[in-house]
């Protein structure tokens, strides 16, 4: 027998997860914390598990089949998992291992009641707790029973719930091995769970204690409602006494039984306030030891608490690191950019180096610290006003924080001369001159051409000197005062028109129609240009058939989505080279490549430069082109643009005619005409800086990936995509030293996989509280889903809940329902009649394009993709901001 097959828990620490599994490693760590009591025990290690399972060669084939299953295929998971369990159950425990377990039991006391608990290597991790996924057994008495339950723990590695959990978290079945913890059973007066951070709000300063009588099994299995105590700053601030009608007790012969609790005892708390505070203090020591909030299982035994487990609370959103103890309030950047997915480190790093404001990272997302703006009354009012117009949920969340005394201190406004606008106030108005927009676009194009030339001439460490200069130019362009004035002019004219025409005429969101087919909107032009590509392909049936076959084969061959990041999956992109072999294929290829030349730098999640671009993955466009061929007649792009123009002109005539008869009507009409001209001149440019940014990001990406390829050829990197898990500075150092920290890359890859499972809040505090905000409205029908109205009109149709652009299947009249849309979704907008998103604001890109295409749209609808069923009929009220669910 290997001497490491059975080890005492006191010999174990956190570095031995591969040998003893996550649970045992953490128990070993807990036993090393001064003043903490942990029940004695030992571990049957993964070494023993691997030795035993090696006796069954069939396991390899079964694991291979398991790894290819989709996490949603429950029947296949159930079938293959059952085969694996039968295989493991059929393996006899070797005599030498049984003897070692019996010897270890004798040290605890041969007839001592024990707990036998699974401890997998992928368990109680910072990124995946695996809580309850494998089996544990209480009050197991005697060597024969313990050995039998060790075998049961091994087989529990392949229960349906455990297999599904691994598939959904992208964890390789072959990399997971099972150890088993055997501990002396603690027979407590009370037991329960301590969360060292509020598991609901995320507040790290609040601890929650759940307590029941007897063994903790009654609480964990849901047999009783526990007592719940809330502790803040060493004080119990709230306690709810649960109806503890049952308590689970250990039976003398083994096993457990739930027994009634005396009615008088039910009404008394299981713990006193002093005991609750004592327990929380122990929890804070455990939290400090492990460096993150903990979910702690505890038992109260006569003279104090014993700790039987502690694991990270994996559902909490991480908090930006500041290095101080002051209160901070962070607003999500992703909600403003309509891309709340996790970003890889290189993407975050490039964004931080090119942004105008300081960007903080947490949970694979970017955050802006707005605490200084909230502290000053003038800038606070301006920020709340802006948020109220663009995203009321963020405004409400910020107001919730402000309503708490002391979290954000109020500072006096800086002294300024009378009549001087506050710092950061609105820029001076700009005259309505189309040449200004032309000048800005020409400046952008010249800068982009210079960047392309500069990057083409350098490799290795000098590349990063060029990038440093490029990033400075990037920030200069973003902060160009003229560009910002043009953007603000378009936005403020929109707000002016909506406010005044509602006041004077009762019109709601009139600007939505007045801005249709505005010039220079590069994002809306992109969707219409793809309609023109469809016109080129439509007359050639061989090409259409070829593209449809490509989509069908792609659907069949797609790997399960759980296997790591989809952005790194391989895909055959050779179809453009094959097109000229078909009748009409040469024209089709020219049309697609021309479109890619202008728009191929875009993609879903384009603010993250680690995402593959359309020019790299042109097959992404094929389903969209086929939908355009199927749903539209030739010439649709020109017709749609002309129809929008006519509607805008008609709306302008209508409002001006209705204004003139009003009191002071000529002045009102003149002001309105001036604002209509201003909004039509400038609102389209709102999309151009993002287009320029993505063009620049594409060039950075190409240069960095070319450098990665050189590092792979030099055998410095294992694969080009490894650079995505490094910052720009770290990659510069790799290029200079020709050395890379492979363990760091692996940790970052695991962290990114975890970050993808998190949902970022709109607002986050330094205490860890995640705030999503709420709508304070009562003007919608009962049962309607409330959101923000961003594009006027009402439409009824079939909801298509689409989370992946490449898997969109649409019919005429469909309404798109999704989490968020960035400009890459615009080609899909031409094929739908309405839009509903979970994320978005009045001036975010999805809202701008919805207005441009005349789609009724409601954004910021919390949980829309969960509450609206795919295929359900809905009615979207884009003017009033709600969605009705129809039968």
Instruction: Name, in order, each residue with C-beta under 8 angstroms of 99's C-beta and a sequence gap of 6 or more.
Output: 1
Separation CA 839–CA 858 (nearest Å) = 10
Separation CA 694–CA 526 (nearest Å) = 14
Tokens of 724: 């995505």
Q: Nearest 5°: CA angle at 486, between 480 and 490?
A: 145
Q: Nearest 5°: CA angle at 405, between 404 and 407?
A: 75
Q: How far is CA 472 from CA 352, 403, 434, 460, 727, in A?
A: 12, 39, 28, 20, 17
DSSP characters over 361-388: EETTEEEEE-HHHHHSHHHHHHHHHHHH
Laid out side by side, the sheet with 788-791 consists of 785-786, 882-885, 873-877, 794-801, 815-818, 834-837, 857-859, 788-791
Catalytic, 502? Answer no
Helix (H, G, I), strand (E, B) or coil at 235: strand
Tokens of 328: 């901070």
Tokens of 464: 């990063």
Residue 523 neighbours by CB distance under 10 Å: 26
Separation CA 42–CA 28 (nearest Å) = 10
- Per DSSP bridges, beta strands 294-301 and 256-260 are unpaired
Residue 791: phi, psi to the nearest 5? -150, 120
Residue burial 787-797, b: 16+ Cβ < 10 Å; e: rest:
bbbbbbbebbb
Q: How far is CA 441 from the centre of its chain?
A: 34
Residue burial 272-303, b: 16+ Cβ < 10 Å; e: rest:
eeebbbebbebbbebbebbeebbbbbbbbbee
Separation CA 354–CA 358 (nearest Å) = 10
Tokens of 884: 């009705």
Q: Are 136 and 114 in contact (CB under 8 A)?
A: no
Instruction: Name, in order, each residue with C-beta under 8 angstroms of 162's C-beta and a sequence gap of 6 or more.
Output: 130, 133, 134, 156
Instruction: Name, in order, each residue with C-beta under 8 angstroms of 582's C-beta and a sequence gap of 6 or more.
Output: 540, 542, 543, 546, 588
Separation CA 857–CA 878 (nearest Å) = 5
- Per DSSP bridges, beta strands 294-301 and 785-786 are unpaired
Instruction: Name, in order, each residue with C-beta under 8 angstroms of 409's C-beta and a sequence gap of 6 or more.
Output: 375
Q: How far is CA 784 from CA 331, 735, 835, 875, in A?
A: 27, 56, 15, 10
As to burial, measured by CB atoms within 10 angstroms (0-12 exposed, 13-18 middle, 19+ buried), residue 668 is: buried
Tokens of 8: 């005492």
Instruction: Tally DSSP H helices, then E strands, for the chain.
Output: 32, 26
Q: Which of 235, 234, 236, 257 minimizes the C-alpha distance to 247? A: 257
Catalytic choice (149, 540, 845, 877): 845
**DSSP H/E element including 392:** helix 392-402
Tokens of 141: 């008495």
Q: How far is CA 834 from CA 788, 797, 814, 848, in A?
A: 14, 8, 7, 13
Tokens of 807: 């898997």
By annotation, the residues acting in catalysis are 845
């Amino acid at each position: 027998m290997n001497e490491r097959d059975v080890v005492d828990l006191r010999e174990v620490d956190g570095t031995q997860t591969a040998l003893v599994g996550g649970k045992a490693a953490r128990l070993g760590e807990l036993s090393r914390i001064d003043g903490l009591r942990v029940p004695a025990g030992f571990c049957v290690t993964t070494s023993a598990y691997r030795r035993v399972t090696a006796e069954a060669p069939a396991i390899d084939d079964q694991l291979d089949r398991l790894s290819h299953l989709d996490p949603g295929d429950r029947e296949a998971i159930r079938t293959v998992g059952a085969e694996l369990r039968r295989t493991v159950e059929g393996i006899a425990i070797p005599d030498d291992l049984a003897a070692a377990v019996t010897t270890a039991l004798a040290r605890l006391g041969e007839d001592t009641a024990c707990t036998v608990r699974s401890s997998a290597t992928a368990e109680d991790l910072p990124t995946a707790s695996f809580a309850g996924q494998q089996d544990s057994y209480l009050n197991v008495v005697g060597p024969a029973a313990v050995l039998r339950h060790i075998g049961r723990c091994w087989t529990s590695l392949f229960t349906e719930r455990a297999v599904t959990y691994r598939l959904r978290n992208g964890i390789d079945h072959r990399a997971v091995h099972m150890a088993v913890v055997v501990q002396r059973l603690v027979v407590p007066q009370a037991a329960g769970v301590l969360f060292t951070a509020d598991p609901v709000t995320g507040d790290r300063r609040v601890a929650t204690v759940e307590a029941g009588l007897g063994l903790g099994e009654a609480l964990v299995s849901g047999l009783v409602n526990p007592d719940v105590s809330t502790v803040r700053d060493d004080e119990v601030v709230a306690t709810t006494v649960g109806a503890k009608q049952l308590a689970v007790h250990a039976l003398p012969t083994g096993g457990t039984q739930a027994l009634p609790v005396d009615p008088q005892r039910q009404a008394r708390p299981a713990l006193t306030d002093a005991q609750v505070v004592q327990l929380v203090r122990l929890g804070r020591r455990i939290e400090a030891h492990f460096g993150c909030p903990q979910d702690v299982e505890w038992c109260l035994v006569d003279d104090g608490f014993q700790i039987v487990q502690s694991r990270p609370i994996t559902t909490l959103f991480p908090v930006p690191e500041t290095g101080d103890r002051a209160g901070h309030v962070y607003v999500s950047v992703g909600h403003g950019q309509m891309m709340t997915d996790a970003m890889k480190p290189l993407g975050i790093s490039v964004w931080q180096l090119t942004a105008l404001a300081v960007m903080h990272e947490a949970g694979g997302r970017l955050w802006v610290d707005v605490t200084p703006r909230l502290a000053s009354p003038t800038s606070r009012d301006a920020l709340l006003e802006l948020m109220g117009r663009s995203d009321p949920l963020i405004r409400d969340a910020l107001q919730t924080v402000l309503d708490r005394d002391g979290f954000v201190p109020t500072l006096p406004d800086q002294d300024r001369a009378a009549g001087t606008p506050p710092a950061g106030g609105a820029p001076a108005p700009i005259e309505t001159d189309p040449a200004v927009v032309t000048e800005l676009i020409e400046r952008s194009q010249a800068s982009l051409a210079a960047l392309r030339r500069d990057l083409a001439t350098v490799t290795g460490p000098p590349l990063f000197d060029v990038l440093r200069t490029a990033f400075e130019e990037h920030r200069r362009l973003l902060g160009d005062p003229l560009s910002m004035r043009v953007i603000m002019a378009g936005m403020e004219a929109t707000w002016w028109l909506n406010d005044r025409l509602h006041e004077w005429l009762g019109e709601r969101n009139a600007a939505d129609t007045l801005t249709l087919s505005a010039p220079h909107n590069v994002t809306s032009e992109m969707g219409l240009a793809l309609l023109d590509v469809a016109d080129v392909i439509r007359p050639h049936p061989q090409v259409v058939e070829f593209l449809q076959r490509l989509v069908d084969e792609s659907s069949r061959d797609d790997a399960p989505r759980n296997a790591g990041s989809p952005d790194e999956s391989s895909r055959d992109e050779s179809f453009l080279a094959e097109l000229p072999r078909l009748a009409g294929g040469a024209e089709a290829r020219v049309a697609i490549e021309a479109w890619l030349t202008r728009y191929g730098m875009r993609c879903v999640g384009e603010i993250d430069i680690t995402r593959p671009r359309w020019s790299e993955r042109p097959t992404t466009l094929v389903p969209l082109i086929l939908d355009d061929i199927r749903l539209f007649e030739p010439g649709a792009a020109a017709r749609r643009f002309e129809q929008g123009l006519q509607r805008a002109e008609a709306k302008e005539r209508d409002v001006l005619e209705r204004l003139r008869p009003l009191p002071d009507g000529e002045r009102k009409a003149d002001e309105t005409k001036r604002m209509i001209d201003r909004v039509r001149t400038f609102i389209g440019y709102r999309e151009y800086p993002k287009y320029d940014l993505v063009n620049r990001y594409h060039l950075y990406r190409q240069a960095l990936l070319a450098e990665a390829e050189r590092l792979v050829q030099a055998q410095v990197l294992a694969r080009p995509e490894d650079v995505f898990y490094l910052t720009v500075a770290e990659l510069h150092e790799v290029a200079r030293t020709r050395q890379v920290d492979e363990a760091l890359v692996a940790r970052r890859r695991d962290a990114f996989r975890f970050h993808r499972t998190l949902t970022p809040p709109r607002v986050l505090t330094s205490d860890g509280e995640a705030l999503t905000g709420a709508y304070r409205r009562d003007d919608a029908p009962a049962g309607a889903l409330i959101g923000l109205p961003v594009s006027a009109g009402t439409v009824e149709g079939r909801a298509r809940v689409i989370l992946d652009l490449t898997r969109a299947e649409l019919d005429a009249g469909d309404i798109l329902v999704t989490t968020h849309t960035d400009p890459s979704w615009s080609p899909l907008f031409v094929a739908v009649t309405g839009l509903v998103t979970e994320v978005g604001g009045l001036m975010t890109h999805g809202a701008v394009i919805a207005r441009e295409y005349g789609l009724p749209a409601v954004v910021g609808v919390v949980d829309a993709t969960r509450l609206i069923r795919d295929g359900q009929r809905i009615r979207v009220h884009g003017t009033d901001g709600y969605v009705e669910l129809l039968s």
